[in-house]
Amino acid sequence: MRSEEIIIVGSGPAGVSAAYPLVESGAPVLMLDGGRTPRMSLPDQPYLVSRSSDPHQWKWLVGETFHALKNIEGVSPKLRAPTLKYVFDDFEHTNRIRSNNFVSIGSLSVGGLSNAWGCGVARFSSEELISFPFSPNEMDQSYEIITKRIGVSANHPDDMSDFFGLDAWAQPAIPLDDLHLYLQKQYEKKRMRSVSSHFRMGRARVAVLGEDHEGRKKCDQLGNCLWGCHRDSMYSTSKEIPKLQSHRNFSYKPGFIVNAIVRQDGQWLVKGTLADQALEISARKVILAAGTLVSTLLIIKALHHRCSVPLFSCPTAAFLLWIPSLLGNQRRSSFGLGQLSFSIKLSDNVSGYGSTFSTSGIPVSEFVRHLPFHRRYGVDLLKHLLSSCLVGNLFLPGRLSSGRVTLDADDSLRIDGGHSSVVSSLMEEASRLLHRSFRQVGAIVMPMSFKIGLPGGDIHYAGTFPMRKNPKIGETDEMGMIKGLEGLYVVDGSCLPELPAKPHAFTIMANADRISRRLVASFWGEH
């Protein structure tokens, strides 16, 4: 049995962000993760060019084992992309997670879900941090550090600048495509006299490069974002591991599947398997950054806690947006992630957030499957219509979910999902306001296209062991240390006490950085 000083479980955004301050301070750190890596090369030609001329396009569109067809019912197109199969493979089975009315998604890959995220980033406002057990100012330095490290675009002042709060440290904006440019101009022209005060819109802020950065290349707008970026323009923590390995005090053990953490002789014993062989490693401190679902499972088992705990996730919806003035617009490859974002006020204390995306890098089949008539006619319709359409999404606050997680008798994790009873009426109001607001800027939310997603389909999971000023069992302190488990910390979404309707991964990273910087001081104080 090996012994370490500090073990970090997980190499995703939380794990890497927690690792940097410790490693740079000289503290010895061992990082463990599931170790899955890509097995397919990524397309490197514009999406529309590849679709018309690449004889091997079937490999990344369908997959040599027909992955896309086998996962046709998957909640997200990402789950059907053969190039991303390694990201999601065997997650539920390996971690013994079972779901009821909930879409449970996670990763065993190097870099975790940062290999397949939407790259949306935002800082939580002072009001949104009010339930966090420390001054909001404590996050300022970490937000700046993370922004500069990962590369965020765009520094473009607009009506969403305050919402995102990152422009001071951001790179240049990625150019908008023709449809989004039209929407932006219409909004700016009409916002003072006709656009609803409940609706505001501006550039999306994304962790995608607007200029070259530390060996990664700026976005070239080929439209392959769904399948993966061959230029590494989209941020993934998998690219950070070699940088951490350049430090002699950092060790990395990929392929280690952690299944339990127990206290023994004043140390933490991390139990798991590596290459199907049982292995145990002890450490003075363990930092859980395995993603909310797995970290929750490990904590509940360590606490021997059989009562259910709450789980936040953001209720979601998606819709198709048509711009009649651009009917017949020529399809062009363009940036495939969020280009414009919006905030919409639904009631005195509830607002929603969403983004709009180009349809040019998404297979037509992803749209045909949602049309209310025969697919043959759907193809004919979309052939003429899709080049003037965008797709949009909507997120509501996580407090409107009603999910629960429970450790079953066989030590598997059961997730029971659901939405608050008010979600249905809020979604109706959102649909009404989006129809009206987009119509005022020259776009139409297509009839019958507004669809509410399944609980968990947002993949914004949080709040199972929230940080509190005076934590009780089942909660964590301001350092993410779990009450009753001294020396065991959690830095992923599990410890967030609030989940607003906005991108949350960036705040998870900043909070992990903040906690780790506090740990640096305590580590060297003990030595």
Q: What is 95-118 written as a DSSP string?
A: HTEEEES-------BTTGGGGS--
199: tokens are 């609706």
Q: Is the pLDDT of residue 1 over 50?
A: no
**What CA–CA distance (Å, rounded) separates 527 from 518?**
15
Confidence grade of residue 196 (pLDDT, cut at 50, 70, 90): low
H-helix or E-strand spanning residue 281: strand 277-288
H-helix or E-strand spanning residue 7: strand 2-9
Rounded to 5 degrees, what are φ and ψ at 406? -140, 140
Mean pLDDT of 56-60: 89
Q: Where do the domains of the chain lie, and which CATH numbers do they carry? A: 1-36+106-151+235-307+460-527 (3.50.50.60)
pTM check: above 0.75: yes
More confident position, 44 or 4: 44
492: tokens are 């992923």
DSSP state letter for 160: T
The Cα angle at residue 514 between residues 239 and 483, in degrees rounded to 5: 110
Distances in Å between the Cα of 389 and the Cα atoms of 173, 383, 395 are 22, 11, 20
DSSP state letter for 373: S
Residue 116, pLDDT score: 95
**What CA–CA distance (Å, rounded) separates 255 from 109?**
9
Residue 161, pLDDT score: 95
Tell me whether strands 2-9 and 29-33 are parallel, antiparallel or unpaired. Answer: parallel
Residue 328, pLDDT score: 87
3-class SS of residue 358: strand
Q: Is the pLDDT of residue 11 over 60?
A: yes
301-311 pLDDT, tens per residue? 999 888 899 99
411-456 pLDDT, tens per residue? 999 999 999 999 999 999 999 999 999 999 999 999 989 999 999 9
**What CA–CA distance (Å, rounded) separates 428 from 479?**
40
Residue found by looking up tokens 């970026």 in the block: 229
Tell me whether strands 267-274 and 277-288 are parallel, antiparallel or unpaired. Answer: antiparallel
Radius of gyration in angstroms for the set of CA atoms belonging to the chain, rounded to a whole number: 23
Confidence grade of residue 378 (pLDDT, cut at 50, 70, 90): low
**What CA–CA distance (Å, rounded) separates 29 from 15?**
11
**Cβ atoms < 10 Å from Cβ of 151:** 23
Percentage of the chain exceeding pLDDT 90? 80
DSSP state letter for 326: G
More confident position, 139 or 61: 139
**What CA–CA distance (Å, rounded) separates 13 from 495?**
14
Cβ atoms of 518 and 480 closer than 8 Å: no
**What CA–CA distance (Å, rounded) separates 104 from 73?**
14
**What CA–CA distance (Å, rounded) separates 510 from 480?**
13
Distances in Å between the Cα of 474 and the Cα atoms of 296, 301, 470 are 10, 12, 12
Residue found by looking up tokens 């964590």 in the block: 476
* Mean confidence (pLDDT) of the chain: 92
Confidence grade of residue 9 (pLDDT, cut at 50, 70, 90): very high
Mean pLDDT of 234-245: 97
Amino acid at 151: G
**What CA–CA distance (Å, rounded) separates 368 from 389?**
13
310: tokens are 């709450």
Neighbour-count burial for 363-383, b at 16+ CB within 10 Å, e otherwise:
bebebbeebeeeeeebeeebe
Distance separating the N- and C-terminal Cα atoms of the chain:
23
**Which of 33-42, 102-111, 150-159 is the least confident region?**
150-159
Residue 523, pLDDT score: 66
Q: Is the pLDDT of residue 95 over 50?
A: yes
The Cα angle at residue 447 between residues 418 and 199, in degrees rounded to 5: 70
SS (H, E, C) 503-523: CCHHHHHHHHHHHHHHHHHHH
Residue 20, pLDDT score: 98
3-class SS of residue 401: strand
**What CA–CA distance (Å, rounded) separates 290 from 270?**
13
Q: What is 453-521 written as a DSSP string?
A: PPTTTT---B-SS-B-SS--TT-B-TT-BBTT-TTEEE-SGGG-S---SS--HHHHHHHHHHHHHHHHH
SS (H, E, C) 193-211: CCCCCCEEEEECCECECCC
Mean pLDDT of 319-348: 94
Q: Is the pLDDT of residue 335 over 70?
A: yes
Q: Is the pLDDT of residue 527 over 60?
A: no
* Sign of the C-alpha dihedral computed for residues 145, 148, 152 and 158 taken in this order: positive
Residue 366, pLDDT score: 75
